[in-house]
Amino acid sequence: MSIKKKPKIPKSRKIANLLLILAGVILIGNWLLPQITRPRIPKVPYSLFIQQVERGEVQAVLLGDNEIRYQLRPEGEEPPRILATTPVFDPELPKRLQAQGIDFAAPPPPQNAWFNVLLNWVVPPLILVAAFQFFMKRDPQGALSISKSKAKVYVEGESAKITFDDIAGVEEAKAELAEVVDFLKNPQRFLEIGARIPKGLLLVGPPGTGKTLMAKAVAGEAGVPFFSISASEFVELFVGTGAARVRDLFEQAKTKAPCIIFIDELDAIGKSRSGGGGGFQSGSSDEREQTLNQLLTEMDGFAVGAETVIVLAATNRPEALDAALLRPGRFDRQVLVDRPDLAGRKAILDIYAKRVKLEPDVDLQAIATRTPGFGGADLANLVNEAALLAARRHRKLVGQQDFYEAIERVVAGLEKRSRVLSDKEKKIVAYHEVGHALVGALMPGGGKVAKISIVPRGLSALGYTLKMPTEDRFLMDEREFREQIATLLGGRAAEKIVFERVTNGASDDLRRATNLAEKMVTTYGMSQVLGPLAYDEGGKPNFLGMGDGNRRRSISEKTAEAIDAEVREIVETAYQQALDILEFNRELLDTISLKVLATEVIEGEELQGLLDAVKNPAIDS
């Protein structure tokens, strides 16, 4: 295992730190040294000093602005005592001293006063200024340069080169970005004919689909410098810092043109400035708004024939971006980097599988089939998880079973063997999961049941039924949606049939079934009563899936009641269908549930042999 070395502190920073420490020592020493070396003189109240003056006990007085020191007349052979008091406003004091014949005067000025003033008030500031200038000159990107851009610059030859060969599963996006590479390699060919080179391209898509990797591949293919920065690094506490950093970034980019500026998570500074859509809370003085305005100004500053600087940006929240960013002339094109299909997942697995040692019989096509909805980052994590599992078991090659277990780990979470269930709870979970499997076995549209387990996984799953798709689906009809809802309600139906009571174990199933039924009615127009109408507002895509749900339009109370009634009818019909299937196959339900209780997990050919015996009451009765 390699040990990461601590970063070496630059010599210039060490010298600057020593100068700062020296200035601090001088300032503290000039204050502390007099406090230590000054003789300790007893202090008395001012009233006692006046009494001693009137009694003739005082021999001499030094009248200072902050302190009065006086010497008492000696008594016998004892040395004279020196006392001090704090002065008060007393215009009669000189007359009293003169009346008693007491010598009084102001304290003599300190020796070398000019040197003390120089040491206290001139030398430390000079040292601070010198340290500041030295630090700024030798380390312009240091902590004191808050207006400097924090972008990382990748130049060809200084880091591992990434090309389009390192990316798979997003062929359409690669084809779109290939034009950008041509712009960077041969800008003059486009300028001579009068074409305008695009100033900006916006990469949109779900997290983990490879947007940042795509931008690096464009720079690698074109062989140009690549400036990479996150949009959140522009925003600081001080208003105007972000705008200054934007200016500095574009000035640096122009000096290295042709080049690429990549701004990740653009929505951090590019949110809509209107009242809705997560806009700014304050007015034009807001730091993010000033940063956005500066970015818009800089992108407008690239004229025809100027340096070839192309701005690539990435976001998974395109619906939140300001309209001024998306207009032609700024981000001219939007490139969708979506989750890959089956062929794309296979190509991505081919790339990442080269980095690990595989057994000869590993079927990456089968793994790609079992991973619908996985992005590039998910598949890279899957290959790594499979390799970790194999290494944990002291094997030198990664096998097919390691990939299957890694899929379950990613989808359902880690096994929780420490979560001990009672015998009654295990029985309920077993019947619940087998209920899902039996109903799902008769609903081929949702995939193939591959595994039943009552081993707790993740945060709250006490068991799970793994249903693997046989192909990627993009369109589904009304019947398939109803079959999905029936499969979701199979666990609740099994509890009702066997135990005559239901538990809270089906809460997530009920939520998903209700949401699916509501989409059928309000979004897909699959209602015989309400007709082919859309009752939700829709809107721009939200790749994070964190919107406000299936928000309905402004509708009448009567229409809302009709929607609720239709949703209820769809769910109840599917629930009754699940009840009919499980009652018709009650003996098989008991048989499989007992096997699951005995082994905790059933999968493979054994499970398929049992599920092949399930009968459809609508056909076999």
166-187 confidence digits (pLDDT tens): 888 888 888 888 888 888 888 7
Residues of the chain with CATH 1.10.8.60: 344-412
pLDDT at 78 over 50: yes
Q: What is the pLDDT of residue 322?
A: 84
Query: Which DSSP string corresponds to 104-159?
Result: EEPPPPPTTHHHHHIIIIIHHHHHHHHHHHHHHHH-TTSTT-TTS---EEE-BTTB
The whole-number average pLDDT for the span 49-66 is: 82
Residues of the chain with CATH 1.20.58.760: 423-620
With respect to CATH, is domain 423-620 assigned 1.20.58.760?
yes
Q: What is the pLDDT of residues 80-137, one digit of tens each?
A: 788 888 887 778 888 888 887 787 777 766 555 555 665 566 666 766 666 666 655 5
For domain 344-412, give the fold.
Answer: Helicase, Ruva Protein; domain 3 (1.10.8)
Helices (H), 533-556: none
Q: How far apart are CA 281 and CA 283, in angstroms?
A: 7
What's the pTM value of the predicted model, to 2 decimals? 0.67
Confidence class for position 567, pLDDT limits 50, 70, 90 = very high
Please, which residues bridge with residue 227 across strands?
A: 153, 261
pLDDT at 303 over 50: no
Please, which residues bridge with residue 468 across strands?
A: 448
User: Is residue 611 classed as helix, strand or coil in its secondary structure?
Assistant: helix
Q: Kindly report the number of other CB atoms within 10 A of residue 202's CB atom.
A: 24
pLDDT at 257 over 70: yes
Residues 23-39 as b or e (16 or more Cβ within 10 Å = b): beeebeeeeeeeeeeee
Residues 443-468 as b or e (16 or more Cβ within 10 Å = b): bebbbebbbbbbbbbeeebbbbbbbb
Q: In the chain, pLDDT over 90 holds for what percent of residues?
A: 15
Confidence class for position 572, pLDDT limits 50, 70, 90 = very high
HSE of 452, CA atoms in CB hemisphere, 13 A: 31
Question: Between these two residues, 386 and 268, which has the higher pLDDT value?
Answer: 386
Confidence class for position 3, pLDDT limits 50, 70, 90 = very low
Binding-site residues for ATP sit at: 205-212
Q: What is the pLDDT of residue 284?
A: 38
User: Is residue 59 classed as helix, strand or coil in its secondary structure?
Assistant: strand
Binding-site residues sit at: 205-212, 432, 436, 509
Q: In the chain, pLDDT over 70 holds for what percent of residues?
A: 76
Confidence class for position 1, pLDDT limits 50, 70, 90 = very low
pLDDT at 19 over 60: yes
Closest CA to 382 of 415, 348, 357, 416: 348
Q: What is the pLDDT of residues 190-227, one digit of tens each?
A: 878 887 777 888 888 888 888 888 888 888 888 888 88
Q: What is the pLDDT of residues 33-57, one digit of tens each?
A: 555 555 677 888 888 888 888 888 8
Confidence class for position 494, pLDDT limits 50, 70, 90 = very high
Q: What is the pLDDT of residue 132?
A: 64
The whole-number average pLDDT for the span 461-479 is: 78
Q: What is the pLDDT of residue 6?
A: 47
* Residues marked as catalytic: 433
Residues of the chain with CATH 3.40.50.300: 152-336
For domain 152-336, give the fold.
Answer: Rossmann fold (3.40.50)
pLDDT at 138 over 70: no
Q: Residue 190 corresponds to which amino acid?
A: F
Q: What is the pLDDT of residue 2?
A: 37
pLDDT at 5 over 50: no
Q: What is the pLDDT of residue 277?
A: 43
Closest CA to 368 of 266, 469, 282: 469
User: Is residue 76 classed as helix, strand or coil in its secondary structure?
Assistant: coil
- Burial class (CB within 10 angstroms; exposed 0-12, middle 13-18, buried 19+) of 248: middle
pLDDT at 511 over 90: yes
Q: What is the pLDDT of residue 530?
A: 86
For domain 8-145, give the fold.
Answer: 3.30.720
Q: What is the pLDDT of residue 160?
A: 56
Binding-site residues for Zn(2+) sit at: 432, 436, 509
Confidence class for position 514, pLDDT limits 50, 70, 90 = very high
The whole-number average pLDDT for the span 405-421 is: 77
Query: Across all residues in the chain, what is the average pLDDT?
Result: 79
On whether the CB atoms of residues 225 and 259 are closer than 8 A, the answer is yes
Query: Which DSSP string corresponds to 175-216?
Result: HHHHHHHHHHH-HHHHHHTTPPPP-EEEEE--TTSSHHHHHH
pLDDT at 563 over 50: yes
